[in-house]
Structure 1
Amino acid sequence: MGLFSAPLPEVVSLPKSRQDVLAEVGIRTVGDALLFVPRRYEDFRAKPLEEVRVPETLSVVGVVQAHPKFSRFRGNFSRLATTLDVGGRTITVVWFNQPYLRERLIPGARVQVAGRYDPKSRQLVAQKTRFSAEGIATESLTPVYGLPGRGADAWFSELIRLLFSLPDLEIPDPIPAALREKYRLLPRGEALRTLHFPQDERELFWAKRRMAFEEVFLYQLKVLAARNVRVRTRRVREHRFRPEEVLELASRWPFTLTGAQRRAIQEIFADLLGPYPMNRLLQGDVGSGKTAVAALAIYAVVRGGRQAALMAPTEILAEQHVRTLRGLLPEDVPIALLTGRTPRREREEILYGLAQGTISVAVGTHALITEHVRFADLGFVVVDEQHRFGVVQRRLLAQKGDVPDLLSMSATPIPRTLALLLYGDLDVSVLDEMPPGRTPVETHWTTPERFADVLTFVDGQIERGRQAYVIAPLIEASDKLEYQNVVDLYDRVRNFLPRRRVGLLHGRLSGREKDRVMRAFVAGELDVLVSTTVVEVGVDVPNATVMVIYDADRFGLAQLHQLRGRVGRGSHKSYCILVADPRTELGRKRLQVFRELTDGFQIAEKDFELRGPGDLFGTKQSGLPEFRFTQLDSPRELRMLQIAHEEAERLLADSAFWETEEAVPLREALAGVHEEAGQLWD
């Protein structure tokens, strides 16, 4: 790959301190540096002051005329002011709360300032400032990389400029020339150069479009390559069980399987008895009975003399799974719980039992993937809430057996079109039918002005012995987002309900503290749990009957649906109350849709129709790939994903292509993700 893959210190002279900064963000080679594109851009393009007629935000370049005047006010509020000569015109520039600039604003210094300029008073209130040593940019957008350390972005930008000037630099392009021509895509080198040094928004659009196609195309290739590898990998050991004998167990359960559950079980049994290892996603709405399906699959594997493991994201959820499995499976199936809280002596006994094969089922958290855990014959792995685990974690558990079958479970409804594109390496089973007898949660919508009435209703439910959740979108107050934060909401609830036991839960608490609060709520020691969305995946609290969601328009509909699914899990009538005053017609329409629909898949499809796929899931809660250039928030980008899928399928089918020199960059791009990918074209 030549210069592109060469270590940076071998190509350019870099101080050790700068090498350390780059290594901190994963930059070690020339290619790493060129592919480290800006997070955002600042617009420092200058505009002649004589053209400004009304106050507006702009950028100027000028020379400092005098030492700045410094003023300090109450509450550490400060002000700097000086005059600049901007092309022969003198203006006043003011900086608020930036006293550290006083030492740099010396007479004669050349400086670039962006901010709000008032032509009448000839005063500019500075928002961003750059000095000549940091690089003055007057004709282009200025990249912001977010590197650690003051001034790092400036020297990194100069490093990138130097790398592009190297005469022997060749940037490998993983997109075949025919595809670039077909979809009018820039060459990779041109796109990267533009991303680092864009002249205008139009240039930037085409460069981002090229890189967006590259990442979704490579993603689709990796997904489809993984599937091809899997279907060519023969099963190491066969499972020996008779489906009708396993299903006889379900006939003794106190509930009847739904048609969707039976269909999913048949699909799973076919995988288990087939010639290739299973890699299936079981997608089911909250309360649709995923655990019962998994229990039958576990029982089938155990009846054949092999072991099974179920990994959950939290200790409380793992404990809940153990209780459920012990209630569903025969008493003679040994089940062990392994978490970070397991006492040492009990842990040693469990490790011995798993290694000897006397324990058939292990349920646990990340503790299952530690090096000390060994199985005699692990044949089946279930991963609950699969989006909470990375690929590496799932693989580590699977490696504890000889290519065990894998069943991933998710309660996040995803439209089938999108699921097939994003999870193309998985077979998908859908539980789109709710068990009979489950009472729908009654959903209401009110405004923040009536929050006191909501809390009065909550108090009435507590008086009847029930419990409630109150959810906020933020942990702390934000200057940028006008939404309720959980800390202030906790204080409001406590003050309104002084006789009630109120707990606080959010992501910045330590793991031990989060566990303590959640256990107290499960045990009925708290009446109200004020929380962020950390409660959305998880624990069964049948006594909780009220879910209050503040600023409900802030959440994706699927996320709201998962929150609503935290209540209505017992025999008591339950309620979900949305507190919101949406500012847009779209926001009001979405909340109305949520009130009217109870099926998670219908909700996902509707939100998909209203807002596109990007907002379906909330932040990082769906397990979707983290694309840098593709947001999946518009029909155009979904179409790009579909095109990439079709082209990837076509390319993988063309064995002749993989023998060409043009395919070398593509093979290199794939090799880092799937070690087995070489089997596809060797």
Structure 2
Amino acid sequence: MKDVLDSPVSLLSGVGEERSRALAGLGIQTIRDLLEYFPSRYEDYRIRDLTEVKDGERVTLAGTIYGEPSVRFYGKKKSRIAVRMVIGKIVVTAVWFNQAFVKKHLLPGKEIVVTGKWDKYKLQIVVSEMAEVDSVRLQKRGELAPVYPLGGEITLAYLRKLIQQALEQFGGQLEEMIPAPLVERYRLMPRAEAIQTIHFPPDVERGRQARRRIMFEELFLFQLKIQAHRRINRQQSEGHAQPVPLDEVRRFIQQLPFPLTDAQNRVVKEILDDMTAPYAMNRLLQGDVGSGKTVVAAIALYATVKAGYQGAIMVPTEILAEQHLSSLQSLLAPHGIQVGLLSGSLTAKKRKELIASLQMGLIDVVVGTHALIQEDVFFRKLGLVITDEQHRFGVEQRRILRSKGLSPDVLFMTATPIPRTLAISAFGDMDVSTIDQMPAGRKPVETSWYKHEQFHYVLEQMRQELQKGRQAYVICPLIEESDKLDVQNAIDVHAQLALYFSEYTVGLMHGRLSAKEKDEVMQWFSAGEVHVLVSTTVVEVGVNVPNATFMVIYDAERFGLAQLHQLRGRVGRGVDQSYCVLIADPKTEIGKERMRVMCETTDGFELSQRDLELRGPGDFFGTKQSGLPEFKVADLLNDYKALEVARQETARLVADPAFWEDAEYAALRDYLQREGILDGVVFD
């Protein structure tokens, strides 16, 4: 049966075709949309004491008119009316611009209430609204009046009136969404009352309680979708428990050339638990640059091979594929595990041989680029798929790789530390494992901040490193000179440095080079044939050149903290002390704060949290590809505790068979149906 709240908004009186179109422009098409179109703020009409009012604040004051008003006309139809008012024992001036008609209402001795902008130093209020103390208008107006985002023909007064009408007619139809035990446990305002109150709060505290209730409901329903989706996927997936010989895996770990950190041990257990469970693993492994994700991946690959399966690891670039090949061969080959490389640069003959070996099961683990997902690539028995720097691959590319096996376990890896708040939102359908500890003995990169006019000091420091036989990166935000942005560009900087360091080889890399050209430049740099590499941010991910100890980032204020940290992670990979120099003249406080934070800490998780605070959730990943929901009331940054509670409660709820059967949860099941989560799900 169709819910009356899903009826068109034209059901309300005063909403014709034209108004319907204007409301649709605000995203309001149904009664439900209108009731859930919440205020962005409130006009505060509480009468205030002058002693607590700040300069420039919008304020409502009550007082008595003292003396006659003065009127001054100037220009065409422009006027200024001023009258003195006594508020308590203070005489202030109330001013109206271009409202000459108010003069007749300003009679000495009359008590009035005025709202407007307060000037503390002139003891003056510029009035936008006025009412008499005993007026009907003042009695009808609440202390807090809602202000909504507007557009087109829709005025604030009209929208307030329409929402009031909708609440009176249909407010009783608003059903409770959150189970009664949770409403009680978390002391939440009932839903219908909360929606009435958030629009027209009788006071600040009630408004706060209504907002708290709706914030929790938004996070609760968001997490319910994620948890229900996960459960349904697990039930419908044809995952299988891999018969991993855990004793053999333990021996393999004991024979590694270095001990695992506690964090690595923890995530290895989480991954092995998933692999030996009867559903397909869908896990994100996040860890800072150099935290040891590759060895965790090697352990998982060893486990899948010993269970009788093959493993595949997909990476974004050929040079990264070769680095992984080298690391995995050194760890796995001594145990008789065959590791192969499949990339676009293989000759036709070698590629054919490798694909045949994969199909016959002669290769246990394959490392590759996008070449792995081509149609003619088949496996004998693919059990584990790992994608490194998973955000660099599209959903479709990852899906194709998964389809090469029968519901293989999937592990995504990223070196971009993501604050927990965003991890359980953006990656809510995955389990998240975090390596939040660095291996012992790693030297933190020393970071410093210089202004552009101090660049000659930086060049001398770089020369000292080059004279020791080390290498350096110089990162620029643009490829060529731009009229729009006054920032250093890679081509100019390359020309300047080639002149300055004429005795060294200075290379250039940017996004306009072909993949083959980029790989060539990086191979020369890796081999030590290029001493200074001038590059745009294409060098950011995964490149491992232990001899590079010096990093310069030009116009560093143009980058977010997460990206600056990723770039800094290109150095500090060997045994020598490494340095990162930020060249920046930030004009804003946020820009200066970023530079300070970068110099203070090398902890990627702390930086990502600070980045989130400075930039907000939408900008953290780049809004378009973030997959983050747009909440009306909830704020992922400030409401992270409620998000965590919502995740735990919804996970418990969907795991309970009663949720899928009992009448008390019908509203939530209807919601999941409306959202398309239950499409194709058959209930017993």
TM-score with structure 1 length normalisation? 0.63
User: Where does residue 294 of structure 2 map in the other structure?
Assistant: 291
Partner of 1:468, secondary structure, is: strand
| 1:239 to 1:649, Cα distance in 2 relative to 1, 3 A | closer
2:471 to 462, 466, 473: 466
1:382 to 383, 386, 399: 386
User: Where does residue 620 of structure 2 map in the other structure?
Assistant: 620
In structure 2, give the amino acid aligned to 1:211. Answer: I
In structure 1, give the amino acid aligned to 2:292. Answer: G
| 1:668 to 1:527, Cα distance in 2 relative to 1, 3 A | farther
2:215 to 212, 221, 241: 212
Contact in 1 for aligned 2:283/2:431 (Cα 8 Å): yes
Map Cα deviations across residues 467-494 of structure 1 (whole Å, 9 max, x no partner): 2244779x999x9xxxxx8835869967
Contact in 1 for aligned 2:494/2:508 (Cα 8 Å): no
Map Cα deviations across residues 286-326 of structure 1 (whole Å, 9 max, x no partner): 21321232134234434555443434466765565456556
User: Where does residue 337 of structure 1 map in the other structure?
Assistant: 343
| 1:381 to 1:663, Cα distance in 2 relative to 1, 3 A | same
Map Cα deviations across residues 552-576 of structure 1 (whole Å, 9 max, x no partner): 8998877665443221124554113
Contact in 1 for aligned 2:146/2:200 (Cα 8 Å): yes
Contact in 2 for aligned 1:141/1:200 (Cα 8 Å): no
Q: Percent identity?
A: 37
| 1:21 to 1:241, Cα distance in 2 relative to 1, 3 A | same
**Structure 2 alignment gaps of length 5 or more:** 48-52, 61-71, 84-93, 100-115, 129-141
Partner of 2:413, secondary structure, is: strand
2:641 to 619, 639, 642: 639
In structure 1, give the amino acid aligned to 2:578. Answer: S
Contact in 2 for aligned 1:301/1:308 (Cα 8 Å): yes
Contact in 1 for aligned 2:325/2:341 (Cα 8 Å): yes
User: Where does residue 665 of structure 1 map in the other structure?
Assistant: 667
Contact in 2 for aligned 1:308/1:380 (Cα 8 Å): yes
Residue 487 in structure 1 maps to residue 491 in structure 2: no
- 1:76-91 aligned at under 5 Å gives the runs 91=97
- 1:394-473 aligned at under 5 Å gives the runs 397-398=401-402, 401-413=405-417, 429-431=433-435, 434=438, 439-446=442-449, 448=451, 451-452=454-455, 453-461=457-465, 466-470=471-475
- 1:553-592 aligned at under 5 Å gives the runs 561-570=565-574, 572-577=576-581
Contact in 1 for aligned 2:298/2:332 (Cα 8 Å): yes
Residue 527 in structure 1 maps to residue 532 in structure 2: yes
| 1:418 to 1:44, Cα distance in 2 relative to 1, 3 A | closer
| 1:401 to 1:208, Cα distance in 2 relative to 1, 3 A | farther
Contact in 2 for aligned 1:222/1:674 (Cα 8 Å): no
User: Where does residue 301 of structure 1 map in the other structure?
Assistant: 304
CA distance in 1, matches of 2:145, 2:190: 21
Contact in 2 for aligned 1:46/1:58 (Cα 8 Å): no
CA distance in 1, matches of 2:481, 2:80: 39
CA distance in 1, matches of 2:80, 2:316: 58
Map Cα deviations across residues 537-566 of structure 1 (whole Å, 9 max, x no partner): 433344532234679899887766544322
Map Cα deviations across residues 163-187 of structure 1 (whole Å, 9 max, x no partner): 9369457344422345335544345
CA distance in 1, matches of 2:541, 2:416: 9
Map Cα deviations across residues 25-76 of structure 1 (whole Å, 9 max, x no partner): 98776545655657x55979999xxxxx99847699xxxx99999xxxxxxx
| 1:427 to 1:44, Cα distance in 2 relative to 1, 3 A | closer
Partner of 1:144, secondary structure, is: coil
- 1:227-242 aligned at under 5 Å gives the runs 236-239=239-242, 242=245
- 1:511-526 aligned at under 5 Å gives the runs 522=522, 523-524=524-525
Q: CA deviation at 1:411?
A: 2.8
Map Cα deviations across residues 379-398 of structure 1 (whole Å, 9 max, x no partner): 22223234666878756654
In structure 1, give the amino acid aligned to 2:5. Answer: F
| 1:301 to 1:314, Cα distance in 2 relative to 1, 3 A | same
Map Cα deviations across residues 147-205 of structure 1 (whole Å, 9 max, x no partner): 7xx66898995897499369457344422345335544345456556667889977764
CA distance in 2, matches of 1:5, 1:175: 20
| 1:85 to 1:599, Cα distance in 2 relative to 1, 3 A | closer
| 1:13 to 1:429, Cα distance in 2 relative to 1, 3 A | same
Map Cα deviations across residues 496-537 of structure 1 (whole Å, 9 max, x no partner): 7564658697xxxxx7569699657634469354656x7654
CA distance in 1, matches of 2:239, 2:183: 42
CA distance in 2, matches of 1:317, 1:17: 55
CA distance in 2, matches of 1:196, 1:274: 48
Larger deviation, residues 355-364 vs 562-571: 355-364
Contact in 1 for aligned 2:548/2:571 (Cα 8 Å): yes
CA distance in 2, matches of 1:179, 1:272: 34
User: Where does residue 176 of structure 1 map in the other structure?
Assistant: 179
In structure 1, give the amino acid aligned to 2:643. Answer: L
Map Cα deviations across residues 639-660 of structure 1 (whole Å, 9 max, x no partner): 3234434543554566546544
CA RMSD of aligned residues (A): 6.6
Partner of 1:539, secondary structure, is: coil
- 1:30-179 aligned at under 5 Å gives the runs 31=32, 35=36, 56=56, 91=97, 140=145, 142-144=147-149, 161=163, 164=166, 167=169, 170-179=173-182
In structure 2, give the amino acid aligned to 1:143. Answer: Y
User: Where does residue 110 of structure 2 map in the other structure?
Assistant: none
In structure 2, give the amino acid aligned to 1:215. Answer: E
Contact in 1 for aligned 2:471/2:531 (Cα 8 Å): no
Contact in 2 for aligned 1:215/1:627 (Cα 8 Å): no
2:542 to 538, 548, 559: 538
| 1:488 to 1:584, Cα distance in 2 relative to 1, 3 A | closer
In structure 2, give the amino acid aligned to 1:487. Answer: V
| 1:256 to 1:90, Cα distance in 2 relative to 1, 3 A | closer
User: Where does residue 3 of structure 1 map in the other structure?
Assistant: 4
| 1:492 to 1:154, Cα distance in 2 relative to 1, 3 A | farther
CA distance in 1, matches of 2:391, 2:347: 28
| 1:349 to 1:45, Cα distance in 2 relative to 1, 3 A | farther
CA distance in 2, matches of 1:310, 1:20: 50
TM-score with structure 2 length normalisation? 0.63
The structure having more radius of gyration, on CA atoms, is 2
In structure 2, give the amino acid aligned to 1:640. Answer: A
| 1:487 to 1:300, Cα distance in 2 relative to 1, 3 A | same
In structure 2, give the amino acid aligned to 1:668. Answer: D
| 1:194 to 1:82, Cα distance in 2 relative to 1, 3 A | farther
Contact in 2 for aligned 1:322/1:335 (Cα 8 Å): yes
| 1:676 to 1:351, Cα distance in 2 relative to 1, 3 A | farther
Partner of 1:4, secondary structure, is: helix
Contact in 2 for aligned 1:67/1:82 (Cα 8 Å): yes
CA distance in 1, matches of 2:228, 2:545: 42
Partner of 1:258, secondary structure, is: coil
Partner of 1:487, secondary structure, is: coil
